[in-house]
Structure 1
Amino acid sequence: MKQQIEWQAGRISLTFVYGDSFPISLAHVEVESGKEAERSLSVTLPHAIPLVEIMASGRGTGHWITNTRSVQTTLGQSLRYTSCKCLEESDGSHCYLDMNSPSFDIAVHLHLFVPQGQRTVRSIVDVTNIGDDSLILESVVPWSASFGTTDDSGITDLSSWAVYECTNECTGEGRWTRTPVRHYCPDLHASLAKRDPQGCHAVISEGTFSTGTSSPVGVLESKKLHMCWAFQIEHNGAWRWEIGQDREDGYFALSGPNWKNHTWSKCLRSGEQFTSVPVSVALGDSFDSAIEALTSYRRIIRKQMGRASQSLIIFNDYMNTINGDPTTEKLMPLIEEAGSLDIDVFCIDCGWYDDSGDWWPSVGEWVPSLKRFPDGLHQVVDAIRDRGMIPGLWLEPESVGIDSPIASELPDSCFFQHDGKRLIEQKRLMLDYRNPAVVKRMDDVIDRLIEDYDIGYFKFDFNIRPGSGTTYDSDSSGDGLLEHNRAYLRWIDGLYRRHPKLILESCSAGGMRTDFAQASHFQLLSTSDQQDYRLYPTISTAAPMTMLPEQAGNWAYPEQSMDDENFAFALMNTMLGHYFLSGYLNTFTASQKALIRQSIDVYKTTVRPHLINSSPCWPLGLPQWTDDIVTLGMMDGEVCLLAVWVRGTERSNFTLPIPNGAGRKGNVRIIFPISLDNRPWRYSWNVESGTLSISLPSRQYAARLFSIDLSQ
C-alpha cells in the first residue's frame, strides 16, 4: 500500500511516498517561487525513484544489465521506511527520515533541512552497519529525484529540458554552457526493449581541486514547464553529479566521492556509521528564481555559522605587480599609495618567508625572511597599520616544500602517502590534517604570526594536486582525502574560535576550490589567477553561480599604460564582487588614482549596501568566454546594479531586459565611471518592456556600472 509524508518547511512543501514493497521517493514539491508569497509553483514527480542510493562491495546494482550510473542500486531499492520526525527549530525546519534494509543489514538516517524562510533543501545521509559482517561502502547518494512536471496531466517532457554545467581551468574559470538534455539523453525508445538506458551524463571532479575541471553546481531548466532545479554539492574535495533517463522521466543524482571515479571506499564494521557530504537543492519557476533561492540559502547558512562577509577593500601585491618577490623596498611605495586610497586591507603575498630566491619549494616554516626585510617584517607591517590598513599575509597551510626544513622535521604520518611513500607533487608535500600534530603545528604558526605581527588577514592558497588522496591510515585513498577535507574545515573553524575577528580568504590556484564547503567557511574566495583584464569579465559574471557576490574576490588589474577607458574597464571587474585590487599604485597618474578613488567611493556608498542583500541576474544569459558584450545584474528589492562590459563589439546598439522591469518606470544612471564623458554611452529606458537600450559611441573595450531604480 502506498503511503505518504507531507513536510511543510519554510517556503517549500515536500511530499514523499513509500510502501512495504518500495523505498521512499519524492512525489510532489510546492514552493513559493517568487519573493511575493502569493506566487507558487506546484511540481509533480510521477516517476518514483529512491531518494537515497547506496553502493557497497558485493551488493551490486539493481539494474539487470551493466550501467555507469550511481542510481538503480540494489541497496537503494531495498530500503524501507521505518520512522519520520519533523521539528521546527530556531534555525529552520528539520525532517528526519529513518529507513533500513532488512536484506542487507544497513540502517539509513536521512536528515533534510530548510533554513527559516527559505526554499532550498539540504540533504545529508548517515549509513550504519547493523549486521555482524563488515560493509564496504562504494557510493552514497544523499539526493536523487526525477525531473518532474507542472503539466496537470502528469505527463513529463524530457525534450523541454536543458542542463547548465560549468567547465573550469586555471585562469579559465566559470565557462558555463546550456545544453538540451536530449543531447545527453537521446530518445532511445527504451520501452520497446523493456529496459532503461544504461548510460548517464556524469559531471565529476577528482582529487584536491573541487572545481579544478567542473563545478559542483548545476541547473536543470524547462522553460516550457516554467520550472527550474538548481543544486550544489557542498564539498571541498571529490564529487559527482549526474543526469540520466529511464522509461518514465529524467533524473538527477548528487553525491560525494565514490569508488569508480575517486577510489573511495569506506569499511564499516558492525555498528559503525558513515556520514555523506551535504548536498542542497532549490526549485523555482525560472532560472533567476532558482538561483535567487540558492543565493539566499547560502547567505543564511553563512549567517548561521557567524560568517557574514565584511566586503572590505583589499589590496594584494601579487598579480601583475610583485609576483612573489616582496621586499621592504618594493612594498613601501605601494603601502604609502594604498593608504592614501582608503584601502582596508594590504596583503603581502607569497615569498615573504623565502631567503633562497625561489619561493615555491621553500614553503612550510613561515618565518619572515631577513634578506627580504633587513630591518624585519615589523617595519613593513607597522607601516601598513600606521596608514590605517589591516596587515595580511599569504600562506599555503596544506603544503610543505621539499626544500623547507619542516619536510625533514615532521614524520611521514603528517603527510599524504601512497603505499608508504610520501606523495610529492611539483616539489611540494601535502599535509594531512587528520593528524593532530599537523593541526597543532599550524595552530602555533597562525597564533605566532598574529601575536608577533598583529596580522588580521590571511590569504590561504593551495596549488597542488597530489592524486586521489592518501592511503596512510585509511580504507582507501579517497577515504583519506575525504577525511582530510573535513579535518581541514574543522581546523578553520578552530581558528575563528580563537581569533573571532580574523579575516580569511580562500585561494586555490585562483578559483580551483570555489565550492560551498569553502565558501561557507571563508569570508571571500579568489575567483581566478587570470591576468588579462579583458578576459576577466566572464569570470566575474560567473562567480555568483558558485558563491555569494559579496564573497567573489575578482581581481582588478589596472596598469599605468592603459588609457582611462581600459583603466575603468579593469576596475569594473571587481565592482560587483568583493573589491580586490592589485597593480603598481605608485606609478599611476593623477587621473588614474582619481578613478580608483571614485570606484572605491561608489563601492562603499552604493554597491556594498546593496550587494549583501542582492541576488544575481544575467540579462543576456550566462556569458560565453569570448562574448563581445558581457552583463551582470544584482537585484536588491527594486534596485538593480547592472555591470556592462563591451569587448570590441561591432554592435552599436543593444537592449537588456531587466527582471521585474516591465510596466515600471526606471530611474537609470551611470554610477561608474562618471568622469569619462569624451565618449559617452547613450541609454534609454522602455517602460512597457522593462528594457534598457544602450548606444555605443564606437568599437572599444569599455565598461559601465548602472543603477536602475524601479521604485519610481
Structure 2
Amino acid sequence: MAQQGKQRIELFENGLSLVFDVTEEGDVRLLHAGCLPFEEERIDERARQGFRVLEVQLSGEDRDEYHGRSHRASYPGLRLRYVRHAEQRTGAGLLFTLDMHDPATGLATTSFFQFHDGLAVLKSWTELRNAGTEELGVEYVSSFSLNGLAKDGAGDQDDKMKLHLAHNGWQSEVQWRSNTLPELGLSHMTDRSSKRISLSNTGSWAAAEHLPMGLLENTEAGTTLFWQIEHNGSWHWELLNQFDHLSLLVSGPSEHDHGWWKKLLPGETFASVPVAVGWARGGFEEAIGELTRYRRATRRPNADNEHLRIIFNDYMNCLWGNPTTQNLLPLIDAAADVGCKYFCIDCGWYSPGVWWDGVGEWLPSEERFPEGIKYVLDYIRGKGMVPGLWLEIEVMGIHSPKLAEADDSWFFMRHGKRVKDRSRYHLDFRNPAVVAHADEVLRRLVEEYGVGYIKMDYNINAGLGTELDSDSLGDGLLEHNRAYLSWIDRIFAAYPELVIENCSSGGMRMDYAMLSRHSIQSTSDQENYVNYAQIAASSPAALTPEQSAIWSYPLREGDDEEVVFNMVNALLLRVHQSGHLAELSPPRRELVREALAVYKAIRGDIREGLPFWPLGLPKIEDGWVSFGLRRGGTRYVAVWRLDDAASEASLPLPGLAGKAAECRLLYPQGRSGGGCVWNAEDGELKVRLDRERTARLFEVVESGTTGTK
C-alpha cells in the first residue's frame, strides 16, 4: 500500500548524497545527487516540480510544457505517485528501490539505484509493469534523470560547466573534446529550453560515432558528474534546461530517436538499459580514475586481466588476411622468440580466396592449410603459446553455403526482406537455431581445435533493428542485443579460460555491456603508427588500461625509431603485437624483445594503475602527446613527439610537485635521442626527444618508494 503524506528520503553512501522529497500529493522529486552536501536554498519552491525522478511516455498520452524534441514533461511521468521505497544490501552494496504508480493507466514503475561499496558510482535503471487491465504502449523511459546539475557554486552554467565528449570513428577512435555549453549551442537564456545537447546512437555499433558516456565538470564547485550507458545497441542522453536548472536524461532506445516502441500487456514488465552514474571531486582525471575503479570492480572476474599476457595477431601491417601454413610458421617462431603468449590467426583461415560474402560455416580452408589447421595450431602450442582464431559469429555472407540450412527466421528482417549490410546478413540471436549454430562453432574451435583465444569481430551495423517477432524495429534490436549478451555469458561459463577479444572494425562497439564481459578490446584498425599514438593515449578514458589492446606493428621498411614508437604506443596498455617480426633485422627485433620484457616487468602496475594526461587529452593537431599511469609513488609516462619543431617539452605532474623524485628512461634503455629531468619546484618532468616522430617511456619514482627493477 502507498504511504501517504509528505516525507524526505536521504541516502548517504560512499561519499554520495541523494535527497528525495515526497509531497503531500505523493509527487516524488529527486532534489539532489552528488558528492557535495545538499544546500536547500539553491532550489526555489516553484522549481522543485521539475526535479523528476523518472520520465516515461506512453502512447496516447499528453505532453506538458514547451518541450521541443526533448523527453522531459512526459505522461504519465508527471502523474506518477509514490508507493514505497526500500533499502537492501546486495553483494555490490546498497540497493535502493523506489516504487511509483499511475492511477490513470495502471502503470507501475520501480527505479533502481545500485550503489557499489567503496565507489562514488551507482548503477541506475527502471522497470515498468502493466498493473492495469488495458494494453500499454511505451515510447520512452529514462534510466536516469537528474535536474540541478549546475546548482552548486554561484556562477551561471554558461561560465562554469564544461562537457567532455568522446567522438569515435573507424581508425579515429576516442577523440575527446571539451566544450562549454554555449559552445555547443545551449546558452542559458530561458528557464526551460527547447534546445538540448544530445547524443544518440542507433544500431548495433554502440560506439559508431560517440562513446556511450559523458562527463560534465563544474569548474567552480570542483566536481565532475560522469555517466556510462552499459548497452551494446541504441542509446540516448540529453542535457537541457528545466525550471531554470540544468537537467540530464539518460536512456536506451526510444520511439522518436531509434524506432523503438514496446507493447506491455497486463502483467508484463520491461527493464530499461542500465547506466552507471558517478561523481568525483576534481576534474576529468579524477572522474576517469573513479570510473576506472568502477569498471574494474564490476567486470567479469577473469585471469586475462590479471596476467596481461602478450598477444600476437597476424593481421595488421602483416598478413592482411592471408594466413597460410607457409606464411604463418616463421611468424609463429618470431612471436615466440620475442615473448608472446597468444598467437591469433586473423581473418581468411576459412576460405581459399575472396571470402567476405561467403562467411558463415567457419570451417578451415584445405588450400591454405594442406596439413589441416590443427597442424598450425599445434605448432603454436608447441612453441609455448596459446592458439587463437578470428571469428565473426553474428553475420552470414549472402553467398554462404550455410544459408542452405537457414530460413528468414535466422536473420534481421525489414519490410519483409532480409537486412543486408556490406554483403552480409545479420543473425538474430533470439532464434534458438541461431544460438545452436553459434554454440557448435564455438564448441568446434575450443574443443576440437584447441583454441584458447578468439578475436570476435563485428563489421556490420544492424541499423534500426528487425520487424520479426517484435513490437517495433527497435524492440527487435534491443531484444537481440540482450540475447547476444546472454549467449556470451553462457560461453564464458562453459569455457572460463577462453579469452574472447571484443572487436568491431576496431572500436565501434566499445561499450561496457560488452566490456563488463570481455577482458580485452580492439581499440582501432588504424594502420598508421603515428596516428595511433593519439588513439592509444586517449583510450584509458574509454576503458581500463588492461583492456585496451593497441596494435604495435614494426614495419619492414622502418628504422629503429619507428620500432620504438610502435612499441611505446602499447607499453602502458595491452600489447597487440603484429608486423613482420621474422623479417626485421636483429637489432630491430631486439628492440621489440626489450620492449616486451619491460612490459612484463610493469604489467602488474598497469592492471592497477590510474591514467593521467600531463599535456591534456590528445588532439590530432597536437605536436606533443603524453599519457601516464600512476600507482603508489610510481608514475610511468609515455611521451610522443609528433611533428613539432621543439625538441623539449614540460609535463606537469601536480601530484608530485614539491617532492623529491627520480626519473629515468625506461624504454629504450641505454639509447640516445631522448632524456628526462625532474623539476620538483615546478612539479614538471622536462623531457627531450631529439627527432620528430619519436617516442619514449619514462619512469618517475617518488623518493622513498620502489619503482621497476
Please tell me whether residue 301 in structure 1 is matched to residue 283 in structure 2: no
Separation (CA, whole Å) in 1 of partners of 2:520 and 2:94: 28
Separation (CA, whole Å) in 2 of partners of 1:406 and 1:332: 30
Separation (CA, whole Å) in 1 of partners of 2:565 and 2:618: 17
Superposition deviation, residue 465 in structure 1:
1.7
Matches within 5 A, 1:209-220: 209-220=205-216
Query: Deviation per CA, 1:268-307, whole angstroms, max 9, x where unpaired?
Result: 0111111001001111122211111111111000156888
Q: Which amino acid aligns with 1:691?
A: E
For the 8 Å contact 1:302–1:308, the answer to whether it is kept is no
Q: Which amino acid aligns with 1:542?
A: S
Query: Deviation per CA, 1:565-588, whole angstroms, max 9, x where unpaired?
Result: 121001111112111111111101
Given candidates 680, 701, 705, the residue that maps to 2:674 is 680
Superposition deviation, residue 561 in structure 1:
1.5
Separation (CA, whole Å) in 2 of partners of 1:674 and 1:374: 44
- 1:167 maps to 167
For the 8 Å contact 1:114–1:120, the answer to whether it is kept is yes
Q: Which amino acid aligns with 1:137?
A: V
Please tell me whether residue 272 in structure 1 is matched to residue 268 in structure 2: yes
- 1:431 maps to 427
Instruction: Give the SS at the match of 1:554.
Output: strand
Q: Which amino acid aligns with 1:53?
A: E
Please tell me whether residue 332 in structure 1 is matched to residue 329 in structure 2: yes
Given candidates 5, 8, 14, the residue that maps to 2:12 is 8
Report the more deviating stretch, 483-492 or 143-152: 143-152
- 1:73 maps to 74
Q: Which amino acid aligns with 1:163?
A: L
- 1:700 maps to 692
Please tell me whether residue 663 in structure 1 is matched to residue 658 in structure 2: yes
- 1:358 maps to 354
For the 8 Å contact 1:324–1:350, the answer to whether it is kept is yes
Superposition deviation, residue 389 in structure 1:
0.3
- 2:575 maps to 579
For the 8 Å contact 2:151–2:245, the answer to whether it is kept is no
For the 8 Å contact 1:10–1:93, the answer to whether it is kept is no
Superposition deviation, residue 663 in structure 1:
2.1
For the 8 Å contact 2:186–2:197, the answer to whether it is kept is no
Matches within 5 A, 1:241-390: 241-286=237-282, 287-303=284-300, 308=305, 310-355=307-352, 357-390=353-386
Superposition deviation, residue 173 in structure 1:
0.9
Separation (CA, whole Å) in 1 of partners of 2:488 and 2:550: 23
Distance 1:702 1:492, change over 3 A: same
- 1:56 maps to 58
Superposition deviation, residue 149 in structure 1:
4.9
- 2:707 maps to none
Query: Deviation per CA, 1:485-504, whole angstroms, max 9, x where unpaired?
Result: 11111111101111111111
Distance 1:187 1:353, change over 3 A: closer
Query: Deviation per CA, 1:593-647, whole angstroms, max 9, x where unpaired?
Result: 11111111111111x1111112211111111123111111112122221111110
Q: Which amino acid aligns with 1:3?
A: Q
Superposition deviation, residue 29 in structure 1:
3.8
Instruction: Give the SS at the match of 2:176.
Output: strand
Superposition deviation, residue 188 in structure 1:
5.5
Please tell me whether residue 136 in structure 1 is matched to residue 137 in structure 2: yes
Report the more deviating stretch, 359-368 or 649-658: 649-658
Q: Which amino acid aligns with 1:327?
A: T
For the 8 Å contact 1:109–1:127, the answer to whether it is kept is yes
- 1:35 maps to none
Query: Deviation per CA, 1:108-128, whole angstroms, max 9, x where unpaired?
Result: 111111222111111011011
- 1:17 maps to 21
- 1:418 maps to 414
Segments of structure 2 that go 5 or more residues without pairing to the other structure are: 705-709
Q: Which amino acid aligns with 1:211?
A: A
- 2:614 maps to 619
Report the more deviating stretch, 513-522 or 91-100: 91-100
Query: Deviation per CA, 1:184-204, whole angstroms, max 9, x where unpaired?
Result: 35446425xxxx221201111
For the 8 Å contact 1:43–1:149, the answer to whether it is kept is no
Separation (CA, whole Å) in 2 of partners of 1:307 and 1:147: 41
Query: Deviation per CA, 1:221-275, whole angstroms, max 9, x where unpaired?
Result: 1222211111110000011111112342211221111111110111001111110
Instruction: Give the SS at the match of 2:515.
Output: helix
Superposition deviation, residue 410 in structure 1:
1.0
Give % identity. 37
Superposition deviation, residue 432 in structure 1:
0.4
Q: Which amino acid aligns with 1:209?
A: W
Separation (CA, whole Å) in 1 of partners of 2:90 and 2:510: 30
Separation (CA, whole Å) in 1 of partners of 2:152 and 2:229: 29
For the 8 Å contact 1:309–1:524, the answer to whether it is kept is no
Superposition deviation, residue 376 in structure 1:
0.5
For the 8 Å contact 1:645–1:704, the answer to whether it is kept is yes
Distance 1:67 1:151, change over 3 A: closer
Separation (CA, whole Å) in 1 of partners of 2:117 and 2:226: 19
Superposition deviation, residue 147 in structure 1:
4.5
Given candidates 566, 576, 579, the residue that maps to 1:570 is 566
Instruction: Give the SS at the match of 2:674.
Output: coil
Instruction: Give the SS at the match of 2:247.
Output: strand
- 1:229 maps to 225
Q: Which amino acid aligns with 2:696?
A: R
Cα root mean square deviation, aligned: 1.9
Q: Which amino acid aligns with 1:597?
A: R
Superposition deviation, residue 3 in structure 1:
2.6
Superposition deviation, residue 41 in structure 1:
7.0
Report the more deviating stretch, 293-302 or 418-427: 418-427
| TM-score, structure 1 normalization | 0.94
Matches within 5 A, 1:113-132: 113-132=114-133
Distance 1:624 1:161, change over 3 A: same
- 2:106 maps to 105
State how many pairs are aligned: 693
Q: Which amino acid aligns with 2:658?
A: G
For the 8 Å contact 2:158–2:188, the answer to whether it is kept is no
Instruction: Give the SS at the match of 2:656.
Output: coil
Please tell me whether residue 637 in structure 1 is matched to residue 649 in structure 2: no
Given candidates 442, 452, 456, the residue that maps to 2:452 is 456
Distance 1:668 1:118, change over 3 A: same
Q: Which amino acid aligns with 1:379?
A: Y
Distance 1:339 1:43, change over 3 A: farther
Separation (CA, whole Å) in 2 of partners of 1:374 and 1:118: 55
For the 8 Å contact 2:145–2:250, the answer to whether it is kept is yes
Distance 1:136 1:654, change over 3 A: same
Superposition deviation, residue 553 in structure 1:
0.8
Distance 1:99 1:362, change over 3 A: same
Superposition deviation, residue 686 in structure 1:
2.1
Q: Which amino acid aligns with 2:169?
A: E
- 1:85 maps to 86
- 2:177 maps to 177
Separation (CA, whole Å) in 1 of partners of 2:305 and 2:384: 22
Instruction: Give the SS at the match of 2:165.
Output: strand
Separation (CA, whole Å) in 1 of partners of 2:38 and 2:196: 27
Q: Which amino acid aligns with 1:391?
A: P
Separation (CA, whole Å) in 2 of partners of 1:399 and 1:475: 23
Query: Deviation per CA, 1:468-518, whole angstroms, max 9, x where unpaired?
Result: 111100011111111111111111110111111111101001110001111
For the 8 Å contact 1:399–1:428, the answer to whether it is kept is yes
For the 8 Å contact 1:173–1:528, the answer to whether it is kept is yes
